[in-house]
Amino acid sequence: MKPLQLRCCLGLSAVLLATGGCNSVGQGLVDRQPLGAGLPTGGLCKDPPMCSAKAAAPLVVIKELAATAVDLSQCDGNNAHPCAVSASDPNCASWEVESPAMAPKHPPLYCTELQVRAKDPKSAASAAWSDLSLKHSNMLIEATSPLVLELDNASLQDCFISLQGPVTLRISNSTGLNDLQFSGAVNVGGEPHLELEHSDGGGLVVGSGKQLFEGVVSIARSVFEQSQLHARDVQLQSVRWDRSLIDATNASLIDTKLALGVLSSEAAVISASNLLHLQVEDCGSLALIDTNTVESNFHACSLDALRVYGGLVNGGVIDGPVESDAAAWDSVLFGVEAASDLTVWSGSMETVQFCSQTHSLQLGAEVGVKCSACAAGTLKKTGSVCAVPNQPPQLDSNTCPALLKVDDCKDPLPVRQRPP
């Protein structure tokens, strides 16, 4: 996966994303639209977008971490990498977990460092800690056998938390999770898991562009903004993720709202979600299922066609191969920068523009194409636009010459990947 290119805007101290530069921060978000919203209802055509009108990529500004946040994995006890330990409370230094167990009734405040390990490293252990409050702190949770630590109603601010090995850190019912950085590394015992549920905050940074979190990050029923996820596996469900970044090997998003963000993933599936001004920088494969997008840009995927099943794609730029079924496309630019071959089995395309890199368009019988145009010289090659034999699509008021009359597709015919 290619590293993301990050640019900075001076004078900003938090992670933010914008579509039009530094002056665009704080723009209102667009609410979920019903399928078909914004499509022309009469016989008149609105002008399709111009191929030169590609929206500017959003900016990603990385927040500087506080000086007190130290990566504990770098600590070696000598002068090269010293690790300060608070002497004000012995619980701040270390805590050995026995299972089942409860953490201390009075959690430490303002600890410089808290280390958590299982008392018996060869046995599984779990513990729960309510009302933990940490500020400007480092927390190391390390295990070689499964260790589950649950934090309920936690208050964490400006902390570095390092998960080493088969550790599951579960944080729930917590508000104000601000300026937290997590790292996660595999060891001989297994991989780390970070789970956030019914929580909110901002400035969350998991992993980094140089070192992914080497495990699973799962967030459910939560709201975060100005945050970053760099992880091997990312799972979001019923999450609002604003002005933020996702950089994952594998990503699964369900019922999620991404606004003014950046996505990079080798394999991603997004379903029943809303993507508003999203920039897909890099992808191997990507499937959108019953998902609505607004003014979002999709770079070409390297391993498979972009699959769009259901939902509304309103505005934005689509590059690379596309397979579409039961989706509505409105005011979209296809094939601006990368070769784009489109297979559309059903749904509608209205007021779209096929730009110079659109090489082919295959249409099913249940497709309506209306009020659409193509750049000069586009789709002129014989057979570049075709339809499933004996099932002509519905064509209406298109200015693209290739869409005035469409011939049948020749062998080999396209294969419908989604059951009708």
Band (pLDDT 50/70/90 cuts) for residue 380 is confident
Q: How far is CA 84 from CA 69, 71, 78, 179, in A?
A: 11, 12, 11, 20
pLDDT digits (tens, 9 = 90+) for 349-360: 999 999 999 999
Look at residue 326 in the predicted model and tell me its pLDDT. Answer: 94
Strand partners, 378: none
Among all chains, which residue has been given the structure tokens 């297994």? 190
Predicted TM-score (pTM) of the model is 0.80
pLDDT digits (tens, 9 = 90+) for 9-28: 222 223 223 333 322 222 23
Mean pLDDT (whole number) for 141-165: 90
**Spatial CA neighbour of 93 closest among 71, 117, 73:** 117
**Spatial CA neighbour of 378 closest among 407, 400, 404:** 400
Which residues, at least 6 apart from 90, have a Cβ–Cβ distance to it below 8 Å? Answer: none
Band (pLDDT 50/70/90 cuts) for residue 121 is confident
pLDDT digits (tens, 9 = 90+) for 395-419: 999 999 999 889 888 877 778 888 7
